[in-house]
């Protein structure tokens, strides 16, 4: 006599696979959002590093030697600019994160002296617009180095 699966056994296996898929999809989706958010955090830190590097090297960027490099955020759009050459790069993060406040920072060549209006460290929080995630960023006033807090 041949042995085979019954219809009931097959339905149970399909139901288990469907339930597992539903839960796996939620975890997978969260992983995608988390990866995108972490990428933006790294990119923001990289923008500060670029500005600091330009100020230290004082290289010709955008057709001019800038004495000051500016990193500014207005409504989720971050710009890297020079005092002479104007905007060097623009980054629109509005579809991924929102910032706790607008800010503007300065790196002065040739030693990358860092400053913000009001003095001190620059501190702000980034929150994901797609999930329940946030990250504090601090840019130290003595070094001008940005890092996750």
Instruction: Map out the domains of the chain as residue ranges.
Output: 7-148
- Beta carbons within 8 Å of 34's beta carbon, 6+ residues apart: 131, 133
pLDDT of residue 1: 65
Instruction: List, as own/partner pairs, every contact residues 134-143 make where C-beta atoms lie below 8 angstroms and the sequence separation is at least 24, other chains included.
Output: 135/37, 135/41, 137/41, 137/44, 137/45, 139/48, 139/105, 139/114, 140/114, 141/114, 141/115, 141/116, 142/114, 143/114
Mean per-residue pLDDT of the chain: 93
Q: Is 137 a residue whose pLDDT tops 90?
A: yes
Strand order through the sheet with 134-139: 97-99, 122-128, 134-139, 146-148
Q: What confidence tens digit (pLDDT) does each residue in 24-36 have? A: 888 899 999 999 9
| Greater pLDDT, 3 or 121 | 121
Q: What confidence tens digit (pLDDT) does each residue in 106-123 have? A: 999 999 999 998 899 999
Q: What confidence tens digit (pLDDT) does each residue in 48-96 have? A: 999 999 999 987 777 788 999 999 999 999 999 999 999 999 999 999 9
Asked if residue 66 lies in contact with residue 56, where contact means CB atoms within 8 angstroms, the answer is: no
3-state secondary structure at position 146: strand
Span 4-8, average pLDDT: 88
Span 119-136, average pLDDT: 94
Q: Please tell me the pTM assigned to this model.
A: 0.84
Quote the CA–CA distance of 29 and 110 in Å, as a whole number. 45
């Amino acid at each position: 006599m041949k042995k085979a699966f019954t219809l009931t056994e097959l339905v149970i296996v399909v139901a288990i696979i469907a339930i597992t898929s539903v839960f796996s999809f939620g975890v997978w989706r969260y992983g995608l959002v988390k990866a995108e958010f972490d990428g933006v955090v790294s990119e923001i830190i990289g923008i500060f590093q670029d500005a600091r590097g330009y100020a230290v090297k004082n290289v010709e960027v955008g057709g001019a030697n800038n004495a000051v490099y500016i990193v500014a955020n207005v409504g989720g759009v971050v710009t890297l600019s020079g005092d002479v050459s104007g905007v060097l790069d623009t980054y629109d993060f509005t579809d991924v994160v929102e910032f706790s406040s607008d800010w503007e920072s300065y790196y002065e060549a040739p030693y990358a002296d860092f400053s913000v209006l009001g003095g001190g460290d620059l501190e702000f929080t980034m929150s994901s617009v797609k999930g329940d995630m946030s990250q504090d960023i601090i840019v130290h006033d003595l070094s001008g180095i940005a890092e996750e807090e």
